[in-house]
Structure 1
Amino acid sequence: MNITTAQRSSGHHRFRRLVAAGVIGLAVLGGTVATEIPANATTYASSMNECLVFRPDLYIGVKNQAQCVAALQSFLRFHYGNGAVHVDGRFGPETEGAVVKYQESVSIRPDGYVGADTWRHIAISCSQRGDCDYKWPNPLP
């Protein structure tokens, strides 16, 4: 079936292309994010930049976000006086406490939940220092 110029620029055709692109994107994302790391595997963090693209909600017990949790943990460990935070990719009470401490330091509601507001402040913090590309366990930049 040939698509005319009028059809190509119609809202319906653009909507169909957008839906198709979204389905392909979710399929790709689902193949990379929906894997869980075995308990005995070393977790290598994504860079903060990689996590800032999607800004997943992070909280105690979150599943399938080990790399972004590890990136968050390394961010908190090395930059906000939370040296006791272990970078293991698991969001537990220790990480929640470090998140609360960070949230208090940037004057946002200290709830231990990493949502849109916390991600926005993390983006500002790491971009000011120029280390949003840092990946644990590499040496600090």
Structure 2
Amino acid sequence: MYAAQLSGAQRIRRAIAAAAIGVAAVAGTAAIAAPARAEVQYPASIGQCLAAKPTLREGVRNQGPCVAAVQAFLGYSYGNGHIDVDGKFGPQTKAAVRNFQRAVGIYDDGVIGPATWRSLQNACTAQGNCDYQYPFPLPF
């Protein structure tokens, strides 16, 4: 049947169907093209971060994996109680770092620099958990 031979109701139904197909096609393309939501990824252990020893401090972006490793380590020691392991260096993490720094007798500025990395390495070596993998249970 040609468009000239269709009744008004049939033309409207075809137009609605065509629009629905177009919307579905666009929605399907958008769903396929939408980037997958990135999962939070953590390093295998704090030992991996000890190799690079990046300076970590509050408010700096793109330091998440090593921040998460330090959060996981400090969350179980040095009077820090529960620390959210989220890879974000916020006030809670800074306070935990300062607690750790005071406990090991180094300057407590809340920044993880060379001296703090040395102390973290000594502490995790002494505890035997430098290879601890978050979020798995602690090895002891």
TM-score normalized by structure 2?
A: 0.69
Q: Which residue of 2 aligns with 1:13?
A: none
Return the match for 1:74 from 64, 69, 72: 72
CA distance in 2, matches of 1:40, 1:89: 14
Asked whether the equivalents of residues 82 and 98 of structure 1 are also in contact (C-alpha less than 8 Å), the reply is yes
**Matches of 2:78 and 2:38, distance apart in 1:** 27
Cα shift at 1:126 = 0.4
**Paired amino acid for 1:140:** L
Task: Map 1:33-72 onto structure 2 (within 5 A).
Answer: 41-72=39-70
SS at match of 2:105: coil
Q: Is the 8 A contact 1:48 1:133 kept in 2?
A: yes
**Where does residue 121 of structure 1 map in the other structure?**
119
What is the letter of the counterpart of residue 131 of structure 1? N
When residues 46 and 56 of structure 1 are mapped into structure 2, their CA distance, relative to the original with a 3 A threshold, is farther
Distance 1:47 1:86 in 2: 16
Moved over 3 A (4+): 38-43
CA distance in 1, matches of 2:129, 2:75: 14
CA distance in 2, matches of 1:93, 1:55: 21
The structural deviation recorded for 1:130 is 1.1
Residue 97 of structure 1 aligns with an amino acid whose one-letter code is A
Match of 1:10 in 2: none
The answer for unaligned runs of 5 or more in structure 2 is: 1-35
1:83 aligns with 2:81: yes
Name the structure 2 match of 1:94.
92
Q: Partner of 1:9 in structure 2?
A: none
In structure 2, the residue matched to 1:110 is 108
Structure 2: distance between partners of 1:102 and 1:54: 20
Q: Distance in 1 between matches of 2:61 and 2:44?
A: 16
Where does the alignment leave 5 or more consecutive residues of structure 1 unmatched?
A: 1-37
Aligned residues: 104
Q: Which residue of 2 aligns with 1:33?
A: none
Post-superposition offset of 1:119 = 0.3
Q: CA RMSD in A?
A: 1.8
Q: Following TM superposition, by how much is the alpha carbon of 1:43 offset from its aligned partner in structure 2, in angstroms?
A: 4.0
Aligned-residue offset at 1:64 = 1.5
**CA pair 86-40 structure 1, distance change in 2 beyond 3 A:** farther
CA contact (8 A) 1:100 1:110 kept: yes
